[in-house]
Amino acid sequence: MIKKDEFDSIIEPLLDIEEFHELESIEHHGITRYNHSLRVAYYTYVVTKLLHLNYKEATEAALLHDFFTDEVDDENGVFKLRRHPGYAVKNASKYLDLSPLQEDIIKTHMFPVTFTPPKYIESWVVDIADDVASIYERSYSTRRQLSAAGVFLFLVVVNFFRIR
């Protein structure tokens, strides 16, 4: 059964990692990379639990799948997309003794942008959860921008008629 308490108890030890909190100030798909990571971890927890997979290891790895900060600043779009899983593995392994499953999850979460396909079902779940979260977050931020533009236009029109 899906339990929010269980999800919290899996991720809480990792939320003590100070370096991980740097993601709170990095923009990612229109939200913070920290919140994106939490969302992917939660989707992963729900799906892997329902499918009776290794939900604990999968949820931990999902939380750390985008654990990179400024390593990719100098790289262009495609390199950034391809290289950040490697940086995330390096950073995650400083704090967590990654199992082969967890390393595969982080390394392959950008497949097919990166070329090596996931080896485990859990890795496929995280790959898809990341895509679903990204689509949701991008559309959310677009909707927010559109509504901000709508409010701005409304104020321009109101002021225009007031001046006249």
**Sites of contact with Fe ion (CB under 5 A):** 66, 130
Question: Are the beta carbons of 66 and 81 closer than 8 angstroms?
Answer: no
Q: Contact 108/102 with Cβ under 8 angstroms?
A: no
Q: Which is nearer to Fe ion, 7 or 43 (by Cβ)?
A: 43
**Alpha helices, DSSP H, located in the chain:** 4-15, 33-50, 55-63, 77-95, 100-107, 121-163
CA distance 147 to 124: 35
Q: Which is nearer to Fe ion, 60 or 66 (CB)?
A: 66
Phi then psi for 61, rounded to 5 degrees? -65, -35
We find the least distance from the C-beta atom of residue 164 to Fe ion, in angstroms, to be 50
Q: Output the smallest distance, CB 140 to Fe ion, in A.
A: 15
Name the residue nearer to Fe ion (CB basis): 66 or 122. Answer: 66
Name the 3-class secondary structure at 74: coil
- Shortest gap between Cβ of 51 and Fe ion (angstroms)? 20
Q: How many helices (H) and strands (E) does the chain have?
A: 6, 2
Q: How far is the CB of 161 from Fe ion (least distance, A)?
A: 45
Q: For residues 115 and 161, which CB has a smaller minimum distance to Fe ion in the complex? A: 115
